[in-house]
């Protein structure tokens, strides 16, 4: 999830654990600790572009870090920062919960985390939430604001209520994701499509509109379903070819290997001219400027440029096209509400 959400969640959990002993400092300490796993980027200057993709959300987001990090951070907190004010057990338990919840909500996204790094580089991802979701973040921000103003029993109740809302919202996202997946599967059956793999994930900023990608022998079918769609509305899928042959010249390169690993094979190749190919990780949402834009002009958050007839050892991120985000947001909002717009056509 985004840094604001992670800091707010850490602050809320910290206040829950240490309010009686630390007051406002529990909020500040929780926010700082909640951002520590994402500080893995501070070693980026020591890594090349390929190593960075392996490293981020790796060791610092593993189950081993949750335990070992909590042991170390708890000791620092109890011995050096708040000595004699909280017990080591309390410090460890709070740090453990902050790290565990940080990693858990990162698993909610399609980016996922390498839970067993460095022993396994598999990225665990549920896709039940988008990387930014205001309905997850706002209750936390409101509760920690109350805690900072007055760390009283009342603010403690408010904070507990905010965490309860977050838990309920998480459960809701998983349940509605499962229901959405069934809608997509039924639609594919009606089309006599047998997909080798399927991926259902939340669309940007909400858990009302859901995105599905189905892998077929020659590419992918993309479809959207909103909880606000009329019951009789059929799901429309559109097809994008994988274009695997465009990767032949650099398929064995170090750079392509990490993209293939990172995307779990969910990629398409777009030939952009001038002997260049853009490899797109299609797990992350596409960003169209208008409903009539061809997919070649969509912005893709995770995409890389490769030169044909080369064996690159480094990655080059693709430049994003100029974007009218107000128009994109209007398309998204209209589609959430059951209207037309967001990728409503078949190229």
> pLDDT by residue (tens digit) across 152-176?
889 999 999 999 999 999 999 999 9
Query: Residue 261 — φ and ψ, nearest 5°?
Result: -65, -50
pTM as predicted = 0.92
Quote the percentage of the chain above a pLDDT of 90.
76
Q: What value does the mean pLDDT take over residues 28-35?
A: 96
Residue-wise pLDDT tens digits, 66-117: 999 999 999 999 888 777 789 999 999 999 999 999 999 999 999 999 999 9
Quote the percentage of the chain above a pLDDT of 70.
96
Q: What value does the mean pLDDT take over residues 246-256?
A: 93
Q: What value does the mean pLDDT take over residues 224-252?
A: 92
Q: How far is CA 272 from CA 64, 126, 298, 299, 347, in A?
A: 42, 32, 12, 13, 17
Residue 103 and residue 3 in contact, taking contact as beta carbons nearer than 8 Å: no
Q: What is the pLDDT of residue 347?
A: 39
CA 232 to chain centre: 31
φ/ψ bin of 121: left (φ > 0), alpha (ψ from -120 to 50), beta (otherwise): alpha
Residue 203 and residue 130 in contact, taking contact as beta carbons nearer than 8 Å: yes
Distant-in-sequence contacts of 294-298, Cβ < 8 A, 24+ apart: 294/347, 295/238, 295/240, 295/347, 296/270, 297/321
- The terminus-to-terminus CA distance of the chain in angstroms comes to 32
- Does residue 210 carry a pLDDT above 90? yes
CA dihedral over 122, 127, 128, 132, signed as positive or negative: positive
Q: What value does the mean pLDDT take over residues 251-257?
A: 94
Reported as type and span, the H/E element at residue 273 is strand 267-273
């Amino acid at each position: 999830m985004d840094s604001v959400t992670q800091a707010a969640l850490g602050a809320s959990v910290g206040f829950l654990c240490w309010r009686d002993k630390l007051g406002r400092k529990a909020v500040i300490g929780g926010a700082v600790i909640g951002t520590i796993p994402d500080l893995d980027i501070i070693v980026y200057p020591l890594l090349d572009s390929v190593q960075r993709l392996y490293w981020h959300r790796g060791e610092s987001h593993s189950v081993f870090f949750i335990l070992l990090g909590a042991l170390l951070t708890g000791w620092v907190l109890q011995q050096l920062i708040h000595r004699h004010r909280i017990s080591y057990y309390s410090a460890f338990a709070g740090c453990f919960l902050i790290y565990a919840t940080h990693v858990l909500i990162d698993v909610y996204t399609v980016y996922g985390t390498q839970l067993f790094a460095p022993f396994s580089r598999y990225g665990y991802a549920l896709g039940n939430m988008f990387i930014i979701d205001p309905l997850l973040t706002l209750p936390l921000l409101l509760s920690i604001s109350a805690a900072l103003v007055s760390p009283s029993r009342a603010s403690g109740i408010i904070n507990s209520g905010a965490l309860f809302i977050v838990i309920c919202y998480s459960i809701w996202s998983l349940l509605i994701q499962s229901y959405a997946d069934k809608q997509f599967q039924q639609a594919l059956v009606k089309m006599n499509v047998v997909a080798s793999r399927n991926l259902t994930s939340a669309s940007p900023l909400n858990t009302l509109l859901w995105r599905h990608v189905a892998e077929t022998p020659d590419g992918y079918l993309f479809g959207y379903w909103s909880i606000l769609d009329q019951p009789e509305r059929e799901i429309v899928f559109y097809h994008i070819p994988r274009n695997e042959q465009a990767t032949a010249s650099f398929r064995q390169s170090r750079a392509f290997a990490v993209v293939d690993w990172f995307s779990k094979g969910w990629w398409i190749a777009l030939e952009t001219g001038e002997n260049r190919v853009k490899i797109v990780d299609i797990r992350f949402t596409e960003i169209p400027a208008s409903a009539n834009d061809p997919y070649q002009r969509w912005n893709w958050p995770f995409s890389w440029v490769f030169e044909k007839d080369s064996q690159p050892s480094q990655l080059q991120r693709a430049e994003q096209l100029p974007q009218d985000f107000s128009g994109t947001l209007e398309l998204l909002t209209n589609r959430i509400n059951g209207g037309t717009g967001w990728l409503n056509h078949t190229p």
